[in-house]
Homo-oligomer: A and B are copies of this chain.
Amino acid sequence: MRIRIYNARILTMEPDREIFLGEIQVEDGSIVYVGGEKSEAGDWDREIDAKKNLLLPGFKNAHTHSAMTFLRSYADDLPLQEWLYNRVFPMEAKLTPDDVYWCAMLANLEYLSSGITANFDMYMKNESNARASVDTGFRTVLCGSINDFGGTVEEIEQEYLHFNKYHPLISYQLGFHAEYTTKREILEDMAALGKKYQAPVYTHNSETANEVEGCVERYGKTPTAFLDSLGMFDYGGGGFHCVHMTDEDLEICKEKGIWVVTNPSSNVKLASGIAPIQKMLSKGIGLAIGTDGPASNNCLDMFREMFLVTSLQKVSLMDASAVDALEVLHMATVGGAGAMGLQDCDVLAEGKKADIIMLDLNQPNMQPLNNIAKNVVYSGSKQNVKMTMIDGKILYEDGVFDVGIPPEEIYAKANESIERMKRE
């Protein structure tokens, strides 16, 4: 497939490169040209007039549990413990591999409609999840999720080896659910596994104050400090949420190159708190953004997350100048790619993967054009996503999905899954 998109405003997200008018050429899944407009004739499968709309790298959803779409709006406005123990866990116990397949596919559709071109997914039944992404053409980085209730370190190692040569769209990072759900012995084995493969390790970290207190009681250390003391982050890694972090925790993140993946919608809706993003930024910690799963958020919308990343800092620090919108756009694209090990999908440049989105500027919420990049962060919405391309293939365009199966069939399957589980 050879595609040329011309007459486009282009935001490559390379350092210090301003938006310019030009074209992008894509061949066999990769970007082969980004620059000023060319008029040469070519043997294109498609030439697209972008009508001065904006091309930028696809958003990277750096923490989610995709298949939890089945629980969307199933249990809201409940205290956290009731939500988790009485509503989420009992339903999850009923999930079949087929449920995960269809519910992950539903999430993939929503990602496409929000300009998200890759997800970092921590959930169960990874084979179903991987298959859903390959079948829809979506790019997924799976994350290990071992804990005391499921999985062995051997299985994590097998998954690591299996999914990292599964398909070009799929990769896998070592991970475990969280310190508070995983006994010390497993944690030590996971740290050893990270060292064996010289690989980063990822986990939920310091999402709630409660979780941090528990760890301090158990081990006399915060989760970040305790896990680091096991050598967990000797080859980097990342923490999902990182809401309740001490200054010492942040020093460890900086020193060990631990990515922080923030999930602001989930953190406010579940009353977990507000992560100290401004402080992390000023320390130079790598930052990425995730939606968390649809059971908590409830939607998979990078625009909502971007607005919240900056505005929650502003209100919590009482400083309207905290966290510039352009920093947020960096987290949602380049930062996410870095956190997920997708360095070949981070910016729009020759040789990079063609994971590209087009945002419609000819909508009232994008006008006037005082500052296009800030418009995206502060005023953008799913409505502005005109095209989502992954690996050089256009999977979503002008509201129409091209994922090999009609969306209505996916909706029907997801509804069947949850209805069956309610009956069981």
Chain A residues in contact with chain B, CB under 8 A? Answer: 69-74, 76-80, 83, 106-107, 109-110, 113, 265, 267-274, 294, 297-301, 304, 307, 310-312, 314-315, 317-325, 362-365, 367-372, 374-375, 378-383, 399, 407-408, 410-411, 414-415, 417-418
Contacts and interface: CB of A to CB of B under 8 A. Distances in A.
A271 B319 contact: yes
B265 A315 contact: no
A260 B318 CA distance: 22
B315 A267 contact: yes
A173 to B, nearest CB: 25
Nearest to A300: B365
Contacts of A410: 364, 367
A304 B304 CA distance: 7
Contact of A301 (B268, B319, B365): B365
B315 A268 contact: yes
Contact of A74 (B267, B314, B370): B370
Contact of A364 (B79, B110, B297, B307): B110
Given A72-B367, A399-B399, 19 more contacts: A69-B364, A69-B367, A71-B370, A77-B310, A77-B321, A77-B322, A77-B324, A78-B320, A106-B368, A113-B364, A113-B383, A265-B311, A271-B322, A273-B318, A274-B315, A297-B378, A298-B379, A368-B415, A382-B382
Contacts of A321: 77-79
A356 B374 CA distance: 32
A273 to B, nearest CB: 7
A200 to B, nearest CB: 30
Contacts of A382: 365, 381-383
24 contacts: A69-B367, A72-B368, A73-B371, A78-B320, A78-B321, A106-B368, A265-B307, A267-B315, A268-B311, A269-B310, A269-B315, A271-B314, A271-B322, A272-B315, A273-B318, A294-B379, A298-B378, A299-B378, A301-B379, A301-B381, A367-B410, A368-B415, A382-B382, A399-B399
A109 B364 CA distance: 6
Contact of A271 (B270, B304, B317, B407): B317
Contact of A370 (B72, B268, B273, B363): B72
Choose among A80, A110, A267, A364 the residue with the greatest number of B CB atoms under 10 Å from its CB.
A364
Contacts of A364: 69, 106-107, 109-110, 113, 407, 410-411
A151 B371 CA distance: 33
Nearest to A379: B299
B320 A83 contact: yes
B365 A271 contact: no
Choose among A106, A379, A382 the residue with the greatest number of B CB atoms under 10 Å from its CB.
A379
Across the A-B interface, give the 3 residue pairs with the lowest CB-CB distance, nearest first.
Answer: A299-B379, A110-B364, A109-B364
A379 B365 CA distance: 19
A119 to B, nearest CB: 14
B365 A299 contact: yes
Given A83-B320, A381-B382, A106 B367 contact: yes
A139 B122 CA distance: 47
Contacts of A418: 368, 370
Nearest to A299: B379
A353 B78 CA distance: 36
B365 A113 contact: yes
